Copies of this chain bind each other. A is one copy, B any other.
Amino acid sequence: MIKAGIIGATGYAGQELVRLLLQHPQAEIVWYGSRSYIDQNYYDVYKNMFRLVDAKCMDDNMEELAGQADVIFTATPQGLCASLVNEEILTKTKIVDLSADFRIKDVEIYEKWYGIEHKSPQYIGEAVYGLCEINRERIGGARLVANPGCYTTCSILTMYPLVKEGLVENNSIIIDAKSGTSGAGRGAKLPNLFCEVNESIKPYGVTNHRHTPEIEEQLGYAAGEPLLINFTPHLVPMNRGILATAYANLKPGVTGKQIQAAYEKYYADEYFIRLLEEGAYPETRWVEGSNFVDIGYKVDERTHRVVAMGVIDNLVKGAAGQAVQNMNLLFGLPEQTGLQLVPLFP
């Protein structure tokens, strides 16, 4: 059994990790870290866990935890993982960091977009960007995995084959994304109150959301050159789910057939990516509770653009599910172990 510790176990992503690891046949949770709820029963924080988890919340002591756990998940605010990690810890255990600390290779970009100083830039280089479908081979041997962001996972996977195959104008990409409210976290903030979110939709972080450079970096690797995108997230009155609607100008002469071929080339054998049949578009309800990414597209002959659409459950493939997928890779398990989840509907 893989011994897993969670730092930040009482956020929504942390709790989802608990849900997935409890159902994982080869993992057990040895540490429920939560600074806010130290010494409280975990099930008092999340009553769905009553009678399922019989542990108390513990402090964020990564050093001690490193001695007990085979893998540490950090589902914490930006900056925390970078401030705690060190050589001794990385020698003892593996880390899957769900924060943004090690996602962006250019530390200046990280510091500019996040507005904080990076406390351990020396590990940025070795950290592997844990988007399993793309970086699978490099994850297995890593000590430190940077688990991708929710919007970024959905956005990158939706556009990757088209960019990789050079079918679209790189700088024409516009991603209009929509997220359920669990993406905003469990902090007690007025804008996230039920009555403020319900019966409304709003854009936010227009032109400056922090997931923008992460998408640009990864799609830039695929393109073989830097690129700039527009990314606009929106808050939707639902609990879970992200939909990315991406627009791009096709390069001259590119046809729908080539688009289809590109998606199949990269995703036909991927268990977690479901390429929808022609004319079908993804809807968040069909992936809820699962690690699936549903992708569809439509070529617009009139404007010579492609509209590509992808959906994920932001807490699963966008956070905890992908983290477990990375854990599986780190420990040589079949990638789907504990993740063959049938989406819950309705």
> Does A181 touch B at the CB level, under 8 Å?
yes
C-beta contact mask, A41-56 vs B, less than 8 Å → 1, else 0?
Answer: 0000011111110000
Quick one: given A280-B47, A281-B204, are A237 and B194 in contact (CB under 8 Å)?
A: yes
Tell me which of A117-125, A127-135, A147-155, A183-191 binds B.
Answer: A183-191
The size bracket of the interface on A is 35 or more
A234 touches B245 (CB 8 A): yes
A276 touches B50 (CB 8 A): yes
From B203, B276, B280, contact of A281 by CB (8 A): B203
From B182, B202, B287, contact of A243 by CB (8 A): B202
> Does A85 touch B at the CB level, under 8 Å?
no
Quick one: given A285-B48, A286-B48, are A240 and B199 in contact (CB under 8 Å)?
A: yes
As for how many copies of this chain the complex holds, the number is 4
> Does A229 touch B at the CB level, under 8 Å?
yes
Quick one: given A181-B194, A230-B247, are A202 and B283 in contact (CB under 8 Å)?
A: yes
> Does A252 touch B at the CB level, under 8 Å?
no
Quick one: given A48-B342, A201-B241, A243-B203, are A230 and B307 in contact (CB under 8 Å)?
A: yes
C-beta contact mask, A204-242 vs B, less than 8 Å → 1, else 0?
Answer: 101100000000000000000000111010101111110
Taking Cβ atoms with an 8 Å cutoff, the residues of A that contact B are 12, 15, 19, 22-23, 46-52, 171, 174, 176, 178, 180-182, 186, 188-190, 192-204, 206-207, 228-230, 232, 234, 236-241, 243, 245, 247, 274, 276, 280-290, 294, 298-300, 302-303, 305, 307, 309, 340, 342-346
A46-B345, A181-B194, A207-B303 given. 8 additional CB < 8 A pairs?
A: A48-B344, A50-B286, A176-B176, A194-B237, A195-B239, A195-B346, A199-B288, A202-B285
